[in-house]
Amino acid sequence: MDKKKYFNFSKKQKIIIFSFLTIIILIASIVSFFVFRFYTHSYEGSNDPAKVNTVDEDIKFKEVPGITNILLLSSDARPGENVSRSDSIMILTIDNINKKLKVTSLMRDMLVKIDGHGEEKLNHAFAYGGPTKTIETIQNNFGIKLNNYVIVDFNAFVKVIDAINGIEVTVKDYELDELNKYILDGGGSEKDLLPSSGTYNLNGYQALSYARIRKVGNGEYERTERQRAVLQIALEKIKDMSKVKIVSLLNELFPYVKTNISLGNAMDYGFTALNVGKKCNFKIEQFRVPLDSISKGGIINNKGWVFVIDKVETSKALKEFIFNDNKNYEPDTSNFDSIIEQYFNDYDIKDDTTHPDYEYVPIINTNGNFENSKNNLNTSSNNNSNDKVEKSSNQGSNENSSNKPSSGSTSTSNNFTEKPNTSQETSKPSENNGDSGNIDSSNTPSIDGNASSENNTEVN
């Protein structure tokens, strides 16, 4: 509907726009552990990172009209592993209609239909067919069209956080043990462990661990909140990075990132995001599905913990936020009880009040009535959480080793059992989790509702 506008700029202006694009790239990597990559071994084009250090004088930037959605994925693969699931799933939206930047978290444990594999957790789609299968699954279940994706592993996240000299975060009492556990699991060392709760300037390994915390507090719900919070914190720091440092960092990140976004499209996205960001003061609108009122958690044999959802209403909520800029959609819950009953009967789903997400699972009290167990949780900071702990992200904590938290629970009020072993949740495919990076539009499922409205900008 709107004509695409072309602009010619001086080399200095192009460097500024290119740098902002890189900022958008780094923003995406912070929360979902994603970074855009232009020319690497995984994309059809030059694999010479030195080319990113210059901007061609003849490049023309065009503003992308409408709404652009990009799938952001992080892989949970560790070194030496060939198959993985997506650890984090998000949609980055550049809304050039309402002039907003948006990030939507899709909780990975949602039970969805994966073509050829039946009902599985959403993040299993990545193991079955990489980003293309994930895109197909999101389109089939929710009607959201996604042509472009970005995948990044944990190493990129660590490098980005270290490049911006860490992020300031207040670690709560009940988060401490899990954070320290993930530090060692993610490649950190003893000196990276935190001695107590409080406010820290987290380095890369510490921030990665903070974003991965799940088995305490509000479980997966609070986990996605942490990820989106890190996004906003990092944005403020990334905006102040020098252009030279941004380009240098981008070159470092090349080995850890895969995308099907061409250099030309990426530059256009960056230019568009720059204009949109100025209008919204670079504040990120945030959203999460499933909504509490149309989802319920439980245990399925051989699948582990899942969220059963009303797919129709979840689709409507997604479209309202992404395309109509409405984050206060009130879903129709009239069919939810029957949907839950059918799923729980078909799959013999069991309520689990010891799971970290259990506050959203109804439990039966001594009178035989359902009650919510959320009031059993102590999700607020301890009384000393506002006492700022000044600690450099590079400073070791060996001198405080006597104060280091143990591997046990930090609070008797959070008496959670470990999540059931999910190593056998599903039969993983033997093929590599990646794909060629090209999406065959002829196989793209048809999209209904608002996803195909004039507000939706298709990305080629």
Is residue 114 packed enough to be buried (19+ CB in 10 Å), middle (13-18) or exposed (0-12)? buried
Average pLDDT estimate for 206-214: 84
Q: Does residue 165 fall inside a structural domain?
A: no
Q: pLDDT: is 220 or 363 the higher one?
A: 220
The pLDDT score that the predictor gives to residue 60 is 59
pLDDT band of 247, cuts 50, 70, 90:
low
Instruction: Classify residue 235: in a domain, yes or no.
Output: no
Helices 11-32, 154-163: inter-axial angle, 10-degree rounding: 120
Indicate whether 315 pLDDT > 80: yes
> What mean pLDDT is predicted for residues 149-162?
79
- Tens digits of per-residue pLDDT, 347-406? 776 665 455 444 433 322 223 232 333 333 222 333 333 333 334 334 333 333 333 333
Whole-number mean pLDDT of the chain? 67
Would you place residue 125 in the very low, low, confident or very high pLDDT band (cuts 50, 70, 90)?
A: very high
Q: What average pLDDT does the segment 34-53 reach? A: 37
**CA 63-67-71 angle, 5° bins:** 105
* pLDDT reported for residue 90: 86
Strand-pair partners of 297: 307
Predicted confidence (pLDDT) at residue 58 exceeds the cutoff of 50? no
Residues 6+ apart with CB under 8 A from 423: none
| In-domain check, residue 391 | no
Spatial CA neighbour of 317 closest among 285, 340, 294, 335: 294
Q: Which tens digits make up the pLDDT trace of 256-308?
A: 778 888 777 877 887 788 788 888 887 888 899 999 999 998 888 778 889 99
Q: What percent of the chain has pLDDT over 70?
A: 57
Say if residue 98's pLDDT is above 50: yes
Query: Sorting pLDDT into bands at 50, 70 and 90, what band is 84?
Result: low
Q: What's the maximum distance between 2 C-alpha atoms anywhere in the chain?
A: 75
Confidence (pLDDT) at 106 = 92
Confirm whether 356 is domain-assigned: yes
pLDDT at 85: 52
User: Out of 18-22, 67-71, 160-164, 340-344, which region has the weakest mean confidence (pLDDT)?
Assistant: 18-22
Please give the model's pTM, rounded to 2 decimal places. Answer: 0.61
Residue 100 has pLDDT above 90, yes or no: yes
Q: What's the pLDDT band for 162 if we cut at 50, 70, 90? A: confident
**Banded model confidence at residue 133, pLDDT cuts 50, 70, 90:** very high
Q: Count of domains in the chain?
A: 1
Nearest residue to 142 (alpha-carbon basis) of 300, 289, 307, 296:
289
Q: What is the reported pLDDT for 373?
A: 31
More confident residue, 11 or 330: 330
Q: What residues contact residue 408 under an 8 Å CB cut-off, 6+ apart?
A: 177
Pairing label, strands 118-121, 86-95: unpaired
Average pLDDT over residues 411-440: 33
252 band by pLDDT with thresholds 50, 70 and 90: confident
Domain assignment present for 251: no
> Which of the pair, 324 or 34, is modelled with greater confidence?
324
The verdict on residue 295 lying in a domain is yes
Counting Cα atoms < 13 Å in the Cβ hemisphere of 166 gives: 19
Closest CA to 445 of 116, 73, 137: 137
Could you tell me if residue 8 is inside a domain?
no
Is residue 323 in some structural domain?
Answer: yes
Q: Of 93, 107, 122, nearest to 27 (Cα)?
A: 93
Give the bridge partners for 170, in sequence order.
199
Structural domain including 304 reads 291-361
The mean pLDDT value for 202-218 works out to 82
Residue whose structure tokens are 């405080």: 400
Give the model's pLDDT for residue 395.
38
Of residues 172 and 394, which shows the higher confidence score? 172
Q: Which residue has the higher pLDDT, 122 or 454?
A: 122
Instruction: Flag whether pLDDT at 418 surpasses 60.
Output: no
Beta bridge partners of 72: 90, 150
Q: How many CA atoms lie within 13 A of 356 on its CB side?
A: 20
